[in-house]
Chains A and B, each alone.
Chain A
Amino acid sequence: DQQVKQNSPSLSVQEGRISILNCDYTNSMFDYFLWYKKYPAEGPTFLISISSIKDKNEDGRFTVFLNKSAKHLSLHIVPSQPGDSAVYFCAASARRDTGRRALTFGSGTRLQVQP
């Protein structure tokens, strides 16, 4: 049973437009969320994160929104650039008192930004 779900395997957008990647989670013990970006033949790299005490975190062109009541988060990329073409993974961290010490990842969304 996937606790972190990315229901869109792929997304294609035009350069300059907004890319919106979505992620849903089921475990209410998750209280910290991260997005990773992965290029082919490379390991994932950290992009941006958000704590459950916030509903928005922004870093340059990247903004993550968290809706705790819906157990939903999204990553917005504005404006999208061809270099953003990659697979994006959503990940979640459980509260320390749960004893779970590792991130749970979603299945990823492949973003293609068309020039």
Chain B
Amino acid sequence: NAGVTQTPKFRVLKTGQSMTLLCAQDMNHEYMYWYRQDPGMGLRLIHYSVGEGTTAKGEVPDGYNVSRLKKQNFLLGLESAAPSQTSVYFCASSARTRYGYTFGSGTRLTVV
């Protein structure tokens, strides 16, 4: 039972490069989320999805895009990476918000 799987686990990008972070869940959860964790800031919501084909903005969406073409996958894209996007990114899924989330193990991204 894999739960939530994030790929890659680590990545170093140069400023201006693009990349996609992949999140996959095998629990048939409707809801999926992308958060970023920064020192002293906790977990901040980037984008989320309440079902296949739907996405919505969170607290810090600028510079990111997302897609949820399949229920089990939630992709986070950076079109033109900036040093301010250096962070640890966590994907999570849930059956409902109040049931609590299952998190992936994170992707550590460094933009130089």
Would you list 7 pairs from A and B whose C-beta atoms are within 8 A, ordered by A residue? A43-B103, A43-B104, A44-B101, A46-B100, A102-B31, A103-B45, A105-B44
- Count residues of B near A (Cβ-Cβ below 8 Å): 25
Query: A99: nearest residue on chain B (CB-CB)?
Result: B56
Q: Give A contacts to B, CB under 8 Å.
A: 2, 4, 6, 9, 32, 34, 36, 41-46, 49, 89, 93, 101-108
Contact B42 A103 (CB under 8 A): no
Q: Give B contacts to A, CB under 8 Å.
A: 4, 31, 33, 35, 40-45, 48, 50, 56, 58, 90, 92, 97-98, 100-106
Known: A49-B98, A101-B31, A102-B97. 18 other contacts (CB 8 A): A4-B42, A32-B98, A34-B100, A36-B101, A41-B106, A42-B106, A43-B105, A44-B103, A46-B101, A46-B102, A49-B100, A93-B97, A102-B48, A103-B97, A103-B101, A105-B35, A107-B40, A107-B41
Within the assembled complex, what's the spacing in Å between the Cα atoms of A104 and B48? Answer: 12
How many A-B pairs have beta carbons closer than 8 Å: the answer is 56
Query: B33: nearest residue on chain A (CB-CB)?
Result: A102
Main secondary structure of the interface of A (DSSP, over half): loop
